[in-house]
A and B are shown apart, each in its own frame.
Chain A
Amino acid sequence: MIGFNVLGFLISWATFLGIYSILSISLNLEVGFTGIVNFGKVAFYAIGAYIAATVSTYTILMLYNIRAAPYTTEGIIALGKYEYLNPFLDAGLFLLAIVLGFAISGIVGYLLTYPVLRVGPEFVGMTLLAFGELLRIFFQNYQPAGGSKGLMSIPHPLGWLRTPLIKDGLYTLIVLGFLVLIYLYSQKLVNSPFGRLLKAVRDDEVAALCLGKHVPRVKATILFISSGFAGIAGVLMAFYLSAINPNMFMAVVTFNIWGMVILGGMANNLGAIVGAAILTFIDRALTFVTPNLGITIITPDYIRWMSIGLLITLVLLFWPRGMVPEKPVETPPLKLIKKRGDRNEHNA
């Protein structure tokens, strides 16, 4: 394999791993911990990506007084000229997009609980799936967001670093930083009385209701948080790729994330990361290897979905609960009492 760039591959994989791990952790909060069947995950990812793209490009064009939309040739040329003049502006736009991406995706997720909680649990998935598809078709036809061509020349927050390796490497660290923060937050969240409540709602909604729990509010809260996280993932991806279009947000993205959660383990945040690591590795490896093979009888791309399907089947056959199975909720007093119990057993 001539020309295989190992460092480039690792940076690219780590970035995808970071972004998709955020997505799979957020899906796991809904599906694994709370039992909300979300087939519309991609919608919140798309919202984040489109917020990043529109906010950054329109702001730059406005600040430099260019009277062209970012999707026109004129706009793209102007963006190429002005986008890396001011590093602070680029960084500021990145942070603004992160905040807006989290907040707006989160609020949309929260508002969606209104229809979602009024249909039976079996229809929640379909409702959200339909929402995701509708949103994609909307973006396809919404000219200010670039229509079917999407938006290009999204200013990279570290664009002033002209060396691609340093730029991408540092950006990967930023992405992994967000992943670490979100992972630690989610771990704290699920290992608390709130996490216990989530699992109770997942196991039996009616019983939770009968124990005085405000089940709709619990679901709305978790949809706000996890949709906000998906929004952050979208923002990170838009700045990384520097171009987005509606075709990136097909329903298949959602099922890819589902695959990660199923592989890694339902209701386990670490499992979500493991699942994301495996599937993004397959994805990146095929992307890097394919061009180096030249002409082959079967493009490795064709085996992408087959291999993922086979992997999920095998994992479910041998580890039905995923590679990293669910762990009980561990609040400090519970940990203590368990330890004491174990010691008593040893003494006996």
Chain B
Amino acid sequence: MIGTNITLEVKEVAKYFGGVRALDGVSIKVPNKGIVGLIGPNGSGKTTLFNVITGFYLPTKGEVWFKGERIDGLNPNEVFLKGLVRTFQIPRLFKSLTVLENVLVTPPRQIGEKVLYSPITSKWVNQEESLVEKAVNLLHRFGLGNFIHSRISELSAAHIKMIETLRGLITNAYMYLLDEPAAGVAYNTARELFTMVKRLRDEEGLAFLIIEHRLEVLMDFVDYVYVLHNGKLLAEGTPREVMNNPKVIQAYLGG
């Protein structure tokens, strides 16, 4: 049913809120190790699509397939456990925890997170030790070694975005949904973030679906772009094709 080289497939998904058709028959595909952009004017349904994919909304119609499994109807926590990690437009980190702890919260099935075992240190201390080591190595690898014990409030916007993305790597992340990773950061920082995305694709074999308004950054890094407008797909293609599509220009400039 699904080609072996497709990671995520959204089939004819619709989401209605009363009379509002936030999504109206959208189909997209993200191939293995693909970096796919999702663009469109405000209110075109990009974030709604993310919410459908990650289980926050049940689609009114249509199906979502991930690695050959149907995932619409699952809860957000179950979607994560399948290997689909989401970041938010406004990063959602745990404010009172340190950078290291933010990464350590992520791994699923921790023995010490079971309430019956948590008071018995010897049951989980070995697992915790290896997770700490893994997390520290991960943070060092991406140049965050100096911030291990910092609180989230002490970090810059770019670092916060990086950590939100990186914390999924300590577990079985397979694909990322990034919601406006470059919003609110300087041009060069935005390019750094996208370079990190590329690095993650090349080193870890991850696939990406990225919502982004800053096309000048996005277009240099993605393989393929979908354009949403009023809940429908307006266009799709390589960055160059999409940028030259008169319909896209009209939707963005509101001609």
Across the interface, do B77 and A209 meet the contact criterion of CB distance under 8 Å?
yes
B33 at the interface (CB under 8 A from A): no
Across the interface, do B121 and A329 meet the contact criterion of CB distance under 8 Å?
no
Shortest CB-to-CB span from A194 to chain B, Å, is 4
B124 at the interface (CB under 8 A from A): yes
Query: Which residues 294-336 of A sit at the B interface, judged by CB distance below 8 A?
Result: 326, 328-329, 331-334
A111 at the interface (CB under 8 A from B): no
Indicate whether A331 sits within 8 Å of B125 (C-beta atoms), given known contacts A210-B80, A210-B92: yes
> B-facing mask of A203-219, CB < 8 A → 1, else 0?
11011111111110000
The tally of residues in A whose CB lies under 8 Å from a CB in B reads 36
Across the interface, do B96 and A192 meet the contact criterion of CB distance under 8 Å?
no
Interface size class of B (residues with CB under 8 A): 35 or more
Across the interface, do B115 and A221 meet the contact criterion of CB distance under 8 Å?
yes
Bound-state CA distance A208–B95 (Å) is 12
Across the interface, do A192 and B124 meet the contact criterion of CB distance under 8 Å?
yes
Across the interface, do A332 and B128 meet the contact criterion of CB distance under 8 Å?
yes
CB within 8 A of A207: which of B93, B98, B113, B136? Answer: B93
Shortest CB-to-CB span from A97 to chain B, Å, is 24
A62 at the interface (CB under 8 A from B): no
Across the interface, do A207 and B94 meet the contact criterion of CB distance under 8 Å?
yes
Q: Which residues of A contact B88 (CB under 8 A)?
A: 207
Query: Which residues 44-98 of B sit at the A interface, judged by CB distance below 8 A?
Result: 54, 75-78, 80-81, 85-86, 88, 92-98
Across the interface, do B112 and A337 meet the contact criterion of CB distance under 8 Å?
no
Across the interface, do B136 and A194 meet the contact criterion of CB distance under 8 Å?
no
Shortest CB-to-CB span from A99 to chain B, Å, is 18
Q: Which residues of A contact B86 (CB under 8 A)?
A: 210
Across the interface, do A341 and B149 meet the contact criterion of CB distance under 8 Å?
yes
Contacts from B to A (Cβ < 8 Å): 54, 75-78, 80-81, 85-86, 88, 92-98, 100-101, 104-106, 108, 110-115, 118-121, 124-125, 128-129, 132, 136, 148-149, 167-168, 171
Contacts from A to B (Cβ < 8 Å): 185, 188-189, 192-197, 199-200, 202-204, 206-215, 221, 225, 326, 328-329, 331-334, 337-338, 341
